[in-house]
Structure formats: C-alpha cells, structure tokens
Amino acid sequence: MAAYIIADVTVTNADQMAKYREWSTKAANEHGAEFLVRGGAITVLEGDWNPGRLVVLKFESAEKARAYYVSEAYTKAREVREGAGVLNMVVVEGV
C-alpha cells in the first residue's frame, strides 16, 4: 500500500533550508520517493490550519517512508536543517 510523508514547514533561514532540500532530495531519490507537492500556493478552505510550506512525498509503502526518514542522507538533511525552520511531519498510508 502506498504511503505519504506530509510535512508542514516554516522557513526561518532560507539559505540553510536550501542546503536541507539538497540532502532531502538526495534521500528521496535513494528511496524511490516521488514529490507530489513541494511548496506552491496554499488556500485554506476550512479550519485554523495555515501551513507555511507543504511537502508531500509518495512512497511504495510505509516501511519505505520510514526507511527514508532514518536513512543516512535524510539524517544529514535533518542535521543541516537544525535551526533553519520549524517542521511538522507525518507518514500516512493511503491509495
């Protein structure tokens, strides 16, 4: 079953976050992830949620999504991102 990582990102240091994107892209490529959403205009339709920047990655399975998250490349990405923003992230199974 497909799985998706969904991240809501608030960027506080654009230069540092650009370096993070390089490492996170490397990790995504290594784990067969497909970027479905990476930024873009957001329109709130209901509720109080007002995300800063949304990212949605598609994986073959939740196991592959979790392997991406703990991979060497994404661990490096998280280290590079430290202090560059606030990130909320979930993995969810779907179709």
- Which CATH number does the domain housing residue 18 bear? 3.30.70.100
Model pLDDT, residue 89: 96
Cα–Cα distance, 56 to 90 (Å, whole number): 10
Band (pLDDT 50/70/90 cuts) for residue 49 is very high
First to last CA, the chain: 7
Band (pLDDT 50/70/90 cuts) for residue 95 is confident
Copy the structure tokens of residue 51: 């995300």
Band (pLDDT 50/70/90 cuts) for residue 52 is confident
Q: Which of 25-29, 48-52, 53-57 has the lowest mean pLDDT?
A: 48-52
Model pLDDT, residue 81: 93
Question: Could you tell me if residue 77 is inside a domain?
Answer: yes
pTM for the full predicted model: 0.90
Domain total for the chain? Answer: 1
Question: Could you tell me if residue 46 is inside a domain?
Answer: no
Domain limits for position 58:
3-41+51-93
Instruction: Return left, alpha or beta for 75; rule: phi > 0 is left, psi -120 to 50 is alpha, else beta.
Output: alpha
Question: Could you tell me if residue 25 is inside a domain?
Answer: yes
Band (pLDDT 50/70/90 cuts) for residue 38 is very high
